[in-house]
A and B are shown apart, each in its own frame.
Chain A
Amino acid sequence: MAEHFDAIVVGAGMAGNAATYTLAKAGLNVLQIERGEYPGSKNVQGAILYANAVEALIPDFREDAPLERHVIEQRMWILDDRSYVGTHFRSENFNEEKPNRYTIIRAQFDKWLNKQAKDAGAMVICETTVLELLKDETGKVIGVRCDRDNGEVYADVVVLCDGVNALVGQRSGIRQEVAPEHAALAVKEMHFLPREVINERFNIADNEGVVIEILGTVTSGMLGTGFLYTNGESIALGIGCIVSDFVEKKINPAHLLEKLKAHPSIAPLIRGSEVKEYAAHLIPEGGFKGVPELSGDGWVICGDAAHFVNAAHREGSNLALTSGRIAAENIVALKKAGKPMSAENLKLYNQALEESFVLKDLKKYKDLPDTLWRNKQFVTTYPELLAQAAERFLRVDGVDKLTKEKEIARSFRKARGVLGLVGDAVKVARAWR
């Protein structure tokens, strides 16, 4: 006889685990289906965890969640081929009792979070892929079909947390394929080094962490960023650019990472390390314009599958956790009120998201991804100009300062023209607003 659950959650990433945990904790009969060998095995992120979104689920998560280091210093580097111009913000305030940001290793953290969901009573089935949604004659989603014999399972509602490719939604005709200009392809390596070496290189204590966000010529003229995060005994180093840029430029992402590793500002930080992992992943970076329909008759969609990434602020996992939780809370409320999981009732989820930072932030930056993608000068011309300006300003060579300043101003005018400079400023200001 076919199994029936209150809810089926597809996927065991941040969104899926948050949804499953919330549903199970409220006493719903929930089945979570994950295609990986174990929860977390397929999940790839830098990764930074924002405590606030986890606290909303599990207030005392710090007691036993696998966390690498709490972040006390954030660097922003703009690279040309030989230099970086950067800002560093480091504060003792980040050494607080309950730190705000952590580096994590997703395979471990996700396994832990999933265990909390299991302990709360959820049934978790791994190594099983959901092929498509099952619908009744009215088009209402009534379950899923998996890639195993007798693979049809039924539920009142299906929570789609199947990640950036959102294949289940696509195959079931409830959403479009992700546009190549709305997704970034990121590659990363894990560089293992003894804890003491990392502490020394970044001037940090045992559990303190440093993160570096990297812009500039290292993306070879494509829209993208690099990153370097310190874990306990490893450094995560990666770079990602918009997929359509890779296609157009015919650049191999692995080569891009090699270039980043060889940069004179990065190479000394990873010297002598042992590389044990290479991973690649897509990131939904289209912002608000990439967000699909968020709910329908018998289904809701959360996390990367819903395109919830705020690239400007490097936030994604917190949007996933929050959207998964909010979806689950609204399903629980409907269930408790004895209401059906209809398209109309599930609009509650959309409304709650509108009121949360998730959609507010995405709306704020809705034009930013397109603006940057269409104006490559922000990732090519400006980093070089900045580095040259800084070098000119600092080098003492007998040239008087006024001449130097004029030269710097001229170099900017020459590269972009006065109108170009003003136009660029307006574009960024409008997209940021």
Chain B
Amino acid sequence: MHIVVCIKQVPDSAQIRVHPVTNTIMRQGVPTIINPYDLFALEEALRLRDKLGGKVTVLTMGPPMADESLRKALGFGADAAVLLTDRFFAGSDTLATSFALSTAIAKLHAQEPVSVVFTGKQTIDGDTAQVGPGIAQRLGLNQLTYVSAIRSVDAENRSIVVERRAEGGVQVLKTGLPCLITMLEGTNTIRRGSMDDMFRAARASLTVWNAKDAGVEDMAMCGLKGSPTVVKKVFAPQPRKEKAVQVATEGKSPAEIAQATLETLFAANPKLEGDLLKLSAAS
């Protein structure tokens, strides 16, 4: 069973600073990590492979330095890694990204038929959750988003049963393979690769594809040209003027706390007490 996991190298959002004047993200010196949501996808893919055999290929699109993330994925136990990198890809929005990735997956599929494509739920830098569904749409794959567990896979009849977190409950869905799954966070814990995995990752020669290698024919679908999204303005949210008021509760009875809370509210809104009295008189 050939499984493809799409990952993205993202700046570690815990360590990002916003330039005080231009409001742009200052990327210099900010360490990069694998998008944390993608690790749930990778672990789920590795578990499927361990159970059913086959191989896991990790795929990413990004600058040459994104190979660090691929090597890290190999260190977790992935079998092969492909880096899509080309200046034609620069400035891609989700439409252009899903185009480039789906083209590359189609090529991987031609080399070795792909049964499942995994992505994380979304990335921590873009937060759109659009790339996974975009790939499924372009490749005509059944898509299972926000998956919280894989119940079973029937390799013979080419079908899969998953749990999907939905509003108000969990859906149990069955669909045919091949399919695309976007994994929900917290569904598993990424494994710690063995020393052998680390050696293999350090020695692996990654497959590096430019747009042409990946099978892209129409460059106008890639990068800035293929991206209708326009960033008009970036701004940092202003701190709110209103401040929270704290009411001391220690050593007080509930009635006293209620009284103090009301007094604080009335002090902040002088009209409130009168309005409430009127209301209660009217009823």
Chain A interfacial positions (CB closer than 8 Å to B)? 3, 37-38, 41, 66, 105, 107-108, 123-125, 127-128, 146, 148-153, 192, 194, 274, 276
Interface string of B15-48 (1 = CB under 8 A from A): 1010011000000010101000000000000000
Judging by beta carbons under 8 Å apart, are A148 and B198 in contact? yes
The tally of CB-CB contacts under 8 A between chains A and B is 46
Known: A108-B29, A150-B195, A192-B17. 16 other contacts (CB 8 A): A107-B29, A107-B31, A125-B199, A125-B202, A127-B75, A148-B193, A148-B194, A148-B195, A149-B192, A149-B196, A150-B196, A151-B194, A153-B195, A194-B21, A274-B20, A276-B17
Chain A's nearest CB lies how many Å from the CB of B22? 11
Max chain B CB contacts within 10 Å: which of A105, A123, A148, A153? A148
Judging by beta carbons under 8 Å apart, are A146 and B17 in contact? no
Determine whether B203 belongs to the interface, using a CB cutoff of 8 Å to chain A.
Answer: yes
* Residues of the A chain whose Cβ atoms lie less than 8 Å from the Cβ of B31: 37-38, 41, 107
Q: Which residue of A lies closest to B203 (CB)?
A: A123
Q: Which residue of A lies closest to B16 (CB)?
A: A276
Q: Which residue of A lies closest to B33 (CB)?
A: A37
Main secondary structure of the interface of A (DSSP, over half): loop
Chain B interfacial positions (CB closer than 8 Å to A)? 15, 17, 20-21, 29, 31, 33, 68, 75, 192-196, 198-199, 202-203
* Residues of the A chain whose Cβ atoms lie less than 8 Å from the Cβ of B196: 149-150
* Residues of the A chain whose Cβ atoms lie less than 8 Å from the Cβ of B198: 125, 128, 148
Chain A's nearest CB lies how many Å from the CB of B121? 23
Knowing A38-B31, A148-B193, say if A3 contacts B17 (CB, 8 Å).
no
Chain B's nearest CB lies how many Å from the CB of A173? 23
Q: Which residue of B lies closest to A38 (CB)?
A: B31
Compute how far the CA of A314 lies from the CA of B29 in the bound complex, rounded to whole angstroms. 25
Q: Which residue of A lies closest to B32 (CB)?
A: A38
* Residues of the A chain whose Cβ atoms lie less than 8 Å from the Cβ of B20: 194, 274
* Residues of the A chain whose Cβ atoms lie less than 8 Å from the Cβ of B17: 192, 274, 276
Judging by beta carbons under 8 Å apart, are B29 and A149 in contact? no
Q: Which residue of A lies closest to B199 (CB)?
A: A3
Compute how far the CA of A150 lies from the CA of B194 in the bound complex, rounded to whole angstroms. 6
Chain A's nearest CB lies how many Å from the CB of B168? 39
Q: Which residue of B lies closest to A108 (CB)?
A: B29
Chain B's nearest CB lies how many Å from the CB of A433? 43
- 8 A-B pairs with CB atoms under 8 Å apart are A66-B29, A105-B29, A150-B194, A150-B195, A151-B194, A151-B195, A274-B17, A274-B20
Knowing A107-B31, A194-B20, A274-B17, say if A149 contacts B202 (CB, 8 Å).
no
A-B pairs with lowest CB-CB distance, top 8: A149-B194, A148-B195, A150-B195, A125-B198, A151-B195, A123-B202, A150-B194, A108-B29
Compute how far the CA of A276 lies from the CA of B30 in the bound complex, rounded to whole angstroms. 12
* Residues of the B chain whose Cβ atoms lie less than 8 Å from the Cβ of A128: 195, 198
Q: Which residue of B lies closest to A41 (CB)?
A: B31
* Residues of the B chain whose Cβ atoms lie less than 8 Å from the Cβ of A124: 202
Compute how far the CA of A342 lies from the CA of B187 in the bound complex, rounded to whole angstroms. 51
* Residues of the A chain whose Cβ atoms lie less than 8 Å from the Cβ of B202: 123-125
* Residues of the B chain whose Cβ atoms lie less than 8 Å from the Cβ of A274: 17, 20
Chain B's nearest CB lies how many Å from the CB of A1? 10
Compute how far the CA of A150 lies from the CA of B203 in the bound complex, rounded to whole angstroms. 17
Judging by beta carbons under 8 Å apart, are A146 and B203 in contact? no
Compute how far the CA of A276 lies from the CA of B192 in the bound complex, rounded to whole angstroms. 30
Of the candidates B15, B21, B68, B195, which one forms a contact with A146 in the assembled complex, judged by CB atoms under 8 Å apart? B195
* Residues of the A chain whose Cβ atoms lie less than 8 Å from the Cβ of B203: 123
* Residues of the A chain whose Cβ atoms lie less than 8 Å from the Cβ of B199: 3, 123, 125
* Residues of the A chain whose Cβ atoms lie less than 8 Å from the Cβ of B192: 148-149
Max chain A CB contacts within 10 Å: which of B20, B33, B75, B195? B195
Chain A's nearest CB lies how many Å from the CB of B124? 16
Chain A's nearest CB lies how many Å from the CB of B74? 12
* Residues of the B chain whose Cβ atoms lie less than 8 Å from the Cβ of A38: 31, 68
* Residues of the B chain whose Cβ atoms lie less than 8 Å from the Cβ of A192: 17
Chain A's nearest CB lies how many Å from the CB of B201? 8
* Residues of the B chain whose Cβ atoms lie less than 8 Å from the Cβ of A123: 199, 202-203
Compute how far the CA of A431 lies from the CA of B278 in the bound complex, rounded to whole angstroms. 84
Chain B's nearest CB lies how many Å from the CB of A418? 55
Q: Which residue of A lies closest to B201 (CB)?
A: A125
* Residues of the A chain whose Cβ atoms lie less than 8 Å from the Cβ of B33: 37
Chain B's nearest CB lies how many Å from the CB of A65? 13
Compute how far the CA of A264 lies from the CA of B139 in the bound complex, rounded to whole angstroms. 65
* Residues of the A chain whose Cβ atoms lie less than 8 Å from the Cβ of B29: 66, 105, 107-108
